[in-house]
Structure 1
Amino acid sequence: MLRYSLTLGIKAKWPGTFPWATLVVNLSGALILGFLLGWQVNQLVSLFLGTGLLGGYTTFSTFNTELWTLFHSRYYWLFVCYALISYGGGILLAYVGLLLGQKI
């Protein structure tokens, strides 16, 4: 429900070809997951929040569908940018989240 609401809000503010909504959702999910790992909460809580909540919040299948659509529609520049920002930004934000979580 959270992802769906956020997606609707982002698409209303930033319509167009670039998949901003999925990018924001997945990058924020990477940051939060990194934070949970760095915070080192109880394993059961970590599994519930990381796998359960964030697993439902983030979306790998939509990301790949959007990549395929950009490529198939010959938006090659957007395809490359989306892939690089998603993968690179996800790794970077997970690391930032990890560092933030370790400070608590």
Structure 2
Amino acid sequence: MPGVDGGSERGDIRMFSVLLIGLGGFLGAIFRYGVSVWFKRISSYPWGTLCVNLSGSFFLGGILSLPPSVITKYLMGIGFLGAFTTFSTFKWETLQMIRNNSWKISAIYLGVSYMGGVFLAWVGWVIFEKTIAK
């Protein structure tokens, strides 16, 4: 079906999805930067990365319990949480700990990040499903 500009409705929807991802990514990156800067004032340990990855896991679990929509999928899930959480920084910081022979701390960091992330995704899913998704 032609749109107002001669394009298809499907093309318009695709462009809207891309714009939502871009807006969410912009906001997520700014929030991540703010959290990282705040935590760096407190400690040299990568608390900021741990915080964004664990809270991002919680909210992603929550989003998955909501009815599917372009807002939850593109703006919040792919856009905001995709930019807010950071797998590459997490790996880099873990590598730095290993290079500094901080084996015990790096093992704890890996365990808390992975297991805590999965656990908090489940907690977010349960909480959102029981409170918001009803």
TM-score by length of 2: 0.72
Mapped partners of 2:68, 2:127: distance in 1: 14
1:37 to 60, 64, 79: 64
CA RMSD, 1 decimal: 1.0
Task: Spell out structure 1 runs of 4+ moving beyond 4 A.
Answer: none
Match of 1:81 among 108, 117, 120: 108
Aligned length: 101
Please state how far the C-alpha of 1:40 moved relative to its aligned partner: 2.4
Q: Could you tell me which of 17, 28, 32 is aligned with 1:3?
A: 32
Mark the structure with the bigger radius of gyration: 2
TM-score (norm. length: structure 1):
0.92
Q: What are the superposed Cα offsets for residues 29-75 of structure 1, whole Å, 9 maximum, x if unpaired?
A: 00010000012241x12221101110000000000001111111100
**SS at 2:90 equivalent:** helix
Structure 2: runs of 5 or more not aligned? 1-29
Higher relative contact order (CA 8 A, sep 6+): 1
Aligned AA (2:54) = L
The one of 90, 98, 101 aligned to 2:125 = 98
Give 1:99 deviation, angstroms.
0.4
Aligned counterpart, 2:13? none
Residues 46-61 of structure 1 correspond to what in structure 2 (within 5 A)?
46-48=72-74, 49-61=76-88
